[in-house]
Structure 1
């Protein structure tokens, strides 16, 4: 089974459209949708309750207060019942059509690969956000050598057991390829096309994300340096 984990905050207008698209994209598959409501103050809880009644396969996990996107993803991962978790943002900019493609790419790559990471094309963000993202991704690649052009894309597929093993910190969801490599697992990439947000505005700014990101980057660099060998573990007979 595939668990679709969607972190969101104050996305009541976008969720009905997005959840409908997820159901259409996953038709014929064994899947569940886990929406993690990160302390929304709009009608998000009511919208999710109605969507769960009308369409099924939808689980609503709620934070009593906003804890951030990374914490919301983590809550969804630990609630997941599927063998594979595919993440996507709740604002509608990630196209659900890529969900099965990511899951299939991960499974097809075999057990040595830990993550299938979406790589955005045709970005719809403002020029300032695009430039800041390009700079951050370039700096991250020079320091971490994770071979990933765009680690900030919300569309990612990971094996659930691996996802739960990764060291957690705020901002963790932006470094999943590097953290998977730290566990001795490979990375495959899937090009995806970004979309424009229909309703609302982003909950994340450029400066606050950028300043925290520099600290996170060197934290991940330190974590990778502190694990130099990943052994293959085999239990021998008695």
Structure 2
């Protein structure tokens, strides 16, 4: 199991300047393991395609380029990557360089060591490098989400996650799914483990997500997930029992 393929999904839009170093850091962090890199290009208008063609030609591991014909948001980008994955575990990491790839194997190992009852390992950021306004907005959103959903997760907005691919594909999809993975995994009848990760500053470019747009959308999504959990029972484990 230790050498099973890991699919590393990187959602991003206009991150051409960040991708070469990020992929280089992934190569270092994942040395000795079987993995593929899947970059989901969410309708980029920069040189992402050219950069990824060069990366695919130069790397000894697969670097795959999934392109959306128009920008559709981070949740759809993650979803496209999950459905393209060949590995039994999907690890996600943001394309802006703020997530440190050294934590990918930490999360993957935590997931594997936790056993079959656990389906996700969620990173939780320490030493946030976002603006104070973003930090305060995120802190309030996380408090409110946990108060309503009881997902026991301090920071679901962290892009660093490791999730069993078969479970990831079962999660209900909506625009905002990536911010509620722990709650949705619990709804499927599995547990979640957590590991602290250290945040970094963005190297190049600017964020594609605004504080107030994300906050308003997040509130609507939270109500939707709350409704879903009230209307849907936790999923049972189903298995066939052979007789005779």
Q: What's 2:9 paired with?
A: 5
Q: Which of these residues, 177, 186, 193, is aligned with residue 182 of structure 2?
A: 177
Kept in 1: contact 2:188–2:234 (CA 8 A): no
Q: Does 1:91 align with 2:93?
A: no
Post-superposition offset of 1:224: 1.1
Q: What's 2:126 paired with?
A: 121
Q: Which of these residues, 70, 73, 77, is aligned with residue 72 of structure 1?
A: 77
Q: What's 1:109 paired with?
A: 114
Distance 1:224 1:13, change over 3 A: same
CA–CA separation in structure 2 for the residues paired with 1:44 and 1:234: 44
Q: Does 1:186 align with 2:191?
A: yes
With normalisation by structure 2, the TM-score equals 0.96
Post-superposition offset of 1:94: 0.2
CA–CA separation in structure 2 for the residues paired with 1:77 and 1:151: 18
SS state of the match for residue 197, structure 2? strand
Post-superposition offset of 1:230: 2.8
CA–CA separation in structure 1 for the residues paired with 2:231 and 2:188: 12
Question: What is the RMSD of the two structures over their aligned residues, measured on CA atoms?
Answer: 0.8
Q: What's 1:15 paired with?
A: 19
Q: What's 1:55 paired with?
A: 59
Kept in 1: contact 2:122–2:156 (CA 8 A): yes
Q: Which runs of 5+ in 1 are unaligned?
A: none
Q: How does 1:120-139 map to 2 (within 5 A)?
A: 120-139=125-144
Post-superposition offset of 1:164: 0.3
CA–CA separation in structure 1 for the residues paired with 2:6 and 2:164: 10
With normalisation by structure 1, the TM-score equals 0.98
CA–CA separation in structure 2 for the residues paired with 1:152 and 1:189: 13
Q: Does 1:205 align with 2:210?
A: yes
Distance 1:170 1:229, change over 3 A: closer
Post-superposition offset of 1:55: 1.0
Render the CA deviation track for 1:63-97: whole Å, top value 9, x for unaligned: 11111100000000000000000000000000000
Q: What's 1:41 paired with?
A: 45
Render the CA deviation track for 1:178-211: whole Å, top value 9, x for unaligned: 0000001001001000000111000000011000
CA–CA separation in structure 1 for the residues paired with 2:64 and 2:162: 19
Q: Does 1:167 align with 2:158?
A: no
Post-superposition offset of 1:229: 4.0
